[in-house]
Structure 1
Amino acid sequence: MANTKHRMHIFFSGIGGTAIGPLALIAKQAGYTVSGSDKQDSQYIEYLKKHGIHDIHIGQTNQAIAAVHQKQPIDWFVYSSAVEKEDNKHPELEFIKEQAIKYSKRDELLNQILADKKLRLLAIAGTHGKTTTTAMMIWLFKQLGLPASHSVGAKISFGDMGHYQPGSEYFIYEADEFDRNFLAFEPYKSLITGVSWDHHEIFPTREDYQEAFKEFISQSSWTYLWQDDADYLDLAGSTHISILDPAEAERTDLQLPGAYNRLDAWLVIEAVHEITNEPLPRLVELMNGFPGLQRRMEQIIPNLYSDYAHTPEKIRGGLSVALELAAIKGQNVVVVYEPLTNRRQHYMIDDYKDCFAGARKVYWIPSYLAREDPGQRIIPPSEMITHLSDPTIATPMKRNAELKAAIQKHLDAGDMVVAMAGGGGDSLDEWIRAEFKPA
């Protein structure tokens, strides 16, 4: 039964995650009582504590959640996809079921908040670029002085990852297709950054993936997307969509580095122009001040960058930015690449081909393992490299002293080095930050 003596108490399992954590912060700011847990401590959990969410337990046990429930009855248990998929006997979920407490994944709660606060959803979806594009929309709204709530899957310098703004009309949301999460929503406006088959364990065929995006579009009051994606999804004759020509982005005064960044920016500008009636030239000027976000060509030390690229399309996007920046200084670009999950590689190995075009050297390290199929063999870097159009540019390596020395040699020579990785804890990104700290 719902707790009537206090504000609704919501418990977030996996509160340190990039999807659950921001939602917990939004719920706290929206007036709910919030507690949670995670398997391990993190900087983001410390951040949540500093922002008023103090009741967070490290370690997910039956006893810990029972103590939380005894102190103040839990009304709603929100859990991540990992809880459902990785552990069918998760102790917290078992306790919640025994107590007949309402439980769901994050989408149902977010829909409840949208309804309670009468927020119009501006959803950004797509296989690649949605985090950057979401951040760009948040940036424009802030520069225009328009109140908006938001949730984005990376740290930004101009706000929290999750934020509820009292009195706001819009909620800007990074709508993830993983586990079909984005199909839980009926957005007021949707932006689709690009579509190429991914999350193969959820969408076994390319057609499954395409149909999910078509369903998402059908649930949106209006959708903005590029011509090639409209063709890929076979949207001929569809209504309530704006189909944009990529050439438009290059005909503007956008000065952001990277062709993919300029495409993402123009998608946002078109949508915000129609929402606010602000002149296009003013929106372009404001967008040129976009400061970027964490792990999207983020500089760690001079000439060493971390980027979230972990699919061929993301690699091309990250490299387009790196090559433009390097060209200004006449630098070579060197990539250190850690694929995200072995499972993905079985589907995309043939798509790498020329995605590193323009890089002088690639160091390819073993895949970051997560949510793996134990029946699939591990594909080594040496095998993946053979699928490149020019395998001679790549060398298989491991995260060790030899790799550190190779990176340092390139830095000493004045090269730009970009670490491309999508993993979380104990990933190439963390290793780079630990081994190459600012002076």
Structure 2
Amino acid sequence: MHIFFSGIGGTAIGPLALIAKQAGYTVSGSDKQDSQYIDYLRKHGISDIHIGQSLTQIEERHRQEPIDWFVYTSALPLENPNAPELLFCKDNNIKTSKRDELLNQIISDKGLRLIAIAGTHGKTTTTAMTIWLFQQLGLPVSYSVGAKIPFGDMGHYQEGSKYFIYECDEFDRNFLAFHPHVSLLTGVTWDHHEIFPTREDYQQAFRDFIAQSTNIIMWQEDADYLNINPSKEKFIKILDSSVIRNDFQQIKLAGLYNRLDAWLAMQAVGFVAHEPDMDKLSGLMGKFPGLQRRMEQIMPNLYSDYAHTPEKIRGAMSVALEIAKETNQKLVVIYEPLTNRRQHYMLDDYGDCFAGANKLYWIPSYLAREDPSQRIIPPEELISHLPDQSFAKASERDDALKSAIRKHLDDGDMVVCMAGGGGDSLDEWIRREFKR
């Protein structure tokens, strides 16, 4: 089967293309621009990648070897419903779908059982931790994770594996395409308001996902939030963090949220691998090397984190505060919100999520998939909703901010940049301006 991936350089599509290649399918693709990740795909056997997404090039590729399946990102039909590649495939009766349908097909073809990690926050870290435990136990495993990890590719198919570990995203209701053998819920708070216009709509999507799962492991607060009770029809393990606090606090990882994510991963691996020794798994978790943009050190004392919602920020702060306390440093946060649309719903949710920081620089939101009818909320207004505004300053991403960061670093402070954007985001800016 010949599969063509549109946007093959993306963090979701690229790893799936690699999985398909490793699983024995013929793979080709295209992207708007070249990138380091596309070079990486070429070096790992996917040489048939075209830069540019014109009608001419996909016609030629289809003439050379007929395309059986066209895979596209969730954003494509929303942002460019008349994309030449998409229209060509529809006109020529070529199967088209988002990535989830293809992944389901691969899982079915290879006889794999799906371990799905879902939730508003913590799912990337928990997915990486679950993969890590499988590897440390010597268990073959296939997987897809939404961030770069130092112990493997973002996507990988391993011959002989029984399980596929998947970061199962709720955006565009993608996770409802799956019927997992085991589902982990990392934490649920209303998000993606353009897809889920009400809190109830978001909650119901997660209830539907749980109904489609054979076995579920989740936290008590999420069970309460979703009104989920133990079921006679399926296995639902509900964890109460207040009861098992002494257990997960033994995991030698910085940050309460990291330890909670680790405990969830340990429960899943213990369940499917029949490994009851939690002390053994805890020891392995203590060696977890982390992943990109999760308190990632860019240079000494300068970190980047993907935190861009109040709950994600609390998680990042729990890690940063423990590090700063251990090293006796002041903590400085640079925050770039992700999308103006989100801010209209989050105004009153930030609360004290930055509590403990000595200084907060709040810069304008990273704009993507915006509603043009909504006014842009400036940093000053967002800051005004914090209960304590004394340590916060509205800033721009400019030379003045660069100088301020440089001074904090010279003073020995710990500086954490929190941002969820992609190209030309705060994360990309600090990597460019503050090279090792």
- TM class by smaller structure: over 0.9
TM, length-normalised to structure 1: 0.97
- Give the whole-Å Cα distance in 2 for the aligned partners of 1:234 and 1:312: 22
**Partner deviation per Cα, 1:86-145 (whole Å, 9 max, x = no partner):** 012111101111111111111110010011000000000000010000000000000000
Question: Could you tell which deviates more after superposition, 133-142 or 371-380?
Answer: 371-380
Distance (whole Å) between structure 2 residues aligned to residue 250 and residue 216 of structure 1: 31
Question: Residue 221 of structure 2: which of 216, 225, 228 is its match?
Answer: 228
Q: How does 1:102-113 map to 2 (within 5 A)?
A: 102-113=95-106
Tell me which residue corresponds to 1:259.
Answer: 256
Which range is displaced more, 137-146 or 16-25? 16-25
Which of these residues, 254, 268, 272, is aligned with residue 271 of structure 1? Answer: 268
The amino acid that maps onto 1:14 is G
Of 61, 68, 91, 2:61 maps to 68
Alignment match of 1:133 (pick from 121, 126, 133): 126
Q: Structure 2: which 5+ runs fail to align?
A: none
Distance in 2 between residues matched to 1:249 and 1:110, nearest whole Å: 36
Contact 2:180–2:214, Cα closer than 8 Å, also in 1: yes
Map of 1:289-304 to 2, 5 A cutoff? 289-304=287-302
Residues 75 and 101, structure 1, Cα contact 8 Å, conserved in 2: yes
What is residue 358 of structure 2 aligned with on the other side? 360
Contact 1:249 1:262 in 2 (8 A): no
Residue 179 of structure 1 pairs with residue 178 of structure 2? no
Give a deviation string over 1:321-380, Cα, whole Å, max 9, x none. 000011111111100000001111111111112110000111111111111111111111
Question: Separation in 2 of the partners of 1:313 and 1:159?
Answer: 28
Give structure 1 regions of 4+ aligned residues with deviation exceeding 4 angstroms: none
Partners of 2:348 and 2:292 in 1: CA distance: 29
- In structure 2, the residue matched to 1:380 is 378
Range with bigger deviation, 360-369 or 61-70: 61-70
CA contact (8 A) 2:338 2:367 kept: yes
CA shift, 1:64, in A, is 1.4
Report the 3-state secondary structure (helix = DSSP H, G, I; strand = E; otherwise coil) of the residue aligned with 1:36. Answer: strand
Cross-structure match for 2:328? 330
* 1:191 alignment partner, SS class: strand
In structure 2, distance between residues paired with 1:195 and 1:202: 15
- In the TM superposition, 1:29-178 aligns within 5 A as 29-178=22-171
Instruction: Report the alpha carbon displacement of residue 237 of structure 1 after superposing the two structures with TM.
Output: 4.6
The 2-side partners of 1:260 and 1:268 are apart by 12
Q: CA deviation at 1:277?
A: 2.2
| Aligned-partner SS, 1:351 | coil
Cα distance between partner residues in 2 of 1:143 and 1:23:
23
Paired amino acid for 2:228: L
Q: 1:188 touches 1:220 (CA, 8 Å); kept in 2?
A: yes
Summarize the alignment of residues 204-215 of structure 1 with structure 2, pairs less than 5 Å apart: 204-215=197-208
Q: Per the alignment, in what secondary structure is the counterpart of residue 211 of structure 1? A: helix
What secondary structure does 1:414 align onto? coil
- The correspondence for 2:402, drawn from 401, 404, 407, is 404
Structure 2 match to 1:26: 19
**For 2:386 and 2:44, how far apart are their aligned partners in 1?**
47
Q: Which amino acid in 2 is paired with 1:276?
A: A
Would you say the 8 A contact 1:249–1:266 is kept in 2?
no
**What SS is found at the alignment partner of 2:70?**
strand
1:20-66 alpha-carbon deviations (Å, 9 max, x no partner): 11100000000001111112222111111111111112221111111
Distance (whole Å) between structure 1 residues aligned to residue 111 and residue 245 of structure 2: 33
Query: How many pairs were matched up?
Result: 431
Structure 2 Cα separation of the partners of residues 25 and 237 of structure 1: 38
Task: Give the letter aligned to residue 416 of structure 1.
Answer: M
Match of 2:430 in 1: 432
User: In the alignment, what sits opposite 2:367?
Assistant: 369
Measure the CA separation in 2 of the matches of 1:168 and 1:254. Answer: 28
Deviation for aligned residue 1:251: 2.9
Instruction: Quote the offset at 1:289 in angstroms.
Output: 0.4
User: For the Cα contact (< 8 Å) 2:130–2:268, is it kept in 1?
Assistant: no
Q: Matches of 1:147 and 1:388 in 2, distance apart?
A: 47
**Number of the residue aligned with 2:284:** 286
Give the corresponding residue for 2:319. Answer: 321
Identity between Structure 1 and Structure 2 (%): 71
* Corresponding letter in the other structure for 2:428: E
- 8 Å Cα contact 1:249/1:263 also seen in 2: no
Q: Find the counterpart in structure 2 of residue 199 from structure 1.
A: 192
The corresponding residue for 1:5 is none
TM-score, normalising length: structure 2? 0.98
Q: How far has the Cα of 1:249 moved from its partner?
A: 4.4
Q: Is the 8 A contact 2:295 2:303 kept in 1?
A: yes
Q: CA RMSD in A?
A: 0.9
Map of 1:246 onto structure 2: 241
Task: Return the alpha-carbon distance in structure 2 between the equivalents of residues 391 and 59 of structure 1.
Answer: 47
Alpha-carbon distance in 1 for matches of 2:183, 2:389: 39
Deviation at 1:168, TM superposition (A): 0.4
Looking at structure 2, the residues matched to 249 and 34 of structure 1 have their Cα atoms a distance apart, in angstroms, of 47
**CA-CA distance at 1:174 after TM superposition:** 0.2
